Amino acid sequence: MSGPGDQLAGLLEGEFAGCCADLYELPAVRWLLDGQLHPGGQELTLRAAQLAGIRTGARVLDVASGSGATAVLLAGELGAEIVGVELGERAVKRARAAAVEAGLEGAVSFARADARSVPLADASVDAVLCECSLCLFEDKPVAVREMARVLRPGGRIVIADVTVKPDALPAQLRTAAARVACVADALALEGYERLLCDAGLELCQRECHRDAAATMADRVDARLRAARIMRLAAVEAFGSQLDAAIELAGLAKRAIAEGLVGYALIVARRPG
């Protein structure tokens, strides 16, 4: 059986196949990200909820819900009913435990499922959130059509994700390792908007938050360098790939500074 170091090394060497969902649940990766799995953290999650019109009693689909942080936050702060869909088995277990710990198991539920086949009825939710995950999906058009299918007329989808200028990215940011870092398969802002329009949705609003991406990249880079200098336990999980991870973080920082990589909230509405 492979350990965390083997899994990380395999991914950085290109063996992506289906294990990215559980990668983010590894202790070393959670330490590296400092518990914040997307730029802007809770602040941008609440901003996305505001843009989606989420309020008390709203039924919300959280696509790629991870370990349940967004679902628990929105149920606790806004009084919404949240249904999380997540591919990673370990993440779903953590999410269910988090809901119980917060006393929100009646307001929050999680299903282990692929975003390409959401186990909800047509027009059954008031809003959909997908944070920093669509960039990782292998079949983005199908996933967006599923989000549109379950959305009620008048409901809103908010995609919060990494944006790139694909033709200008350096080759190192188009590798399998950069894919895990949410860069290689990310789209231009217009690419996400095209997916939403092709799914029959109406674009409402866009917000660019490049500063949030820069802050997160700075934090990851600093933690990787500290781990190498101080020989922290996290180094063992990254194994021989630590230097490659540091190089990748530096490239990402420069790409953000040059405007080649950013982060955006994109809002679309189902007509009706």
Contact criterion met (CB below 8 Å) for 25 and 94: yes
Query: What pTM was computed for the model?
Result: 0.86
Burial class (CB within 10 angstroms; exposed 0-12, middle 13-18, buried 19+) of 105:
middle
3-state SS assignment for residue 187: strand
Domains and CATH numbers, the chain: 4-269 (3.40.50.150)
Which tens digits make up the pLDDT trace of 102-115? 999 999 999 999 99
Contact criterion met (CB below 8 Å) for 184 and 20: no
Which tens digits make up the pLDDT trace of 45-75? 999 999 999 999 999 999 999 999 999 999 9
- Output the pLDDT for position 14: 41
The C-alpha atoms of residue 186 and residue 119 are separated, in whole angstroms, by: 25
Amino acid at 152: R
Question: How many Cα atoms within 13 Å fall on the side-chain side of residue 102?
Answer: 23
Across 28-37, 73-82, 166-175, 199-208, least confident range: 28-37
pLDDT bucket at 189, cuts 50 / 70 / 90: very high
Scan for tokens 């590296």, then name that residue: 32
- Hey, CA dihedral for 251, 253, 256, 258, is it positive or negative? negative
Which tens digits make up the pLDDT trace of 2-61? 444 444 444 444 444 344 555 665 666 666 666 677 899 999 999 999 999 999 999 999
Contact criterion met (CB below 8 Å) for 66 and 171: no
With a CB cutoff of 8 Å and minimum separation 6, the contacts of 114 are: 87
Which tens digits make up the pLDDT trace of 66-100? 999 999 999 999 999 999 999 989 889 999 999 99
The DSSP secondary structure of 36-74, one letter per residue, reads --STTHHHHHHHHHHHHT--TT-EEEEET-TTSHHHHHH
The C-alpha atoms of residue 216 and residue 36 are separated, in whole angstroms, by: 9
pLDDT bucket at 198, cuts 50 / 70 / 90: very high
- Output the pLDDT for position 171: 84
Asked whether the predicted pLDDT for residue 143 surpasses 90, the reply is yes
The C-alpha atoms of residue 43 and residue 47 are separated, in whole angstroms, by: 6
- Output the pLDDT for position 129: 98
- 178 versus 148: the higher-pLDDT residue is 148
- 122 versus 13: the higher-pLDDT residue is 122
What phi and psi values does residue 91 have, to the nearest 5 degrees? -65, -40
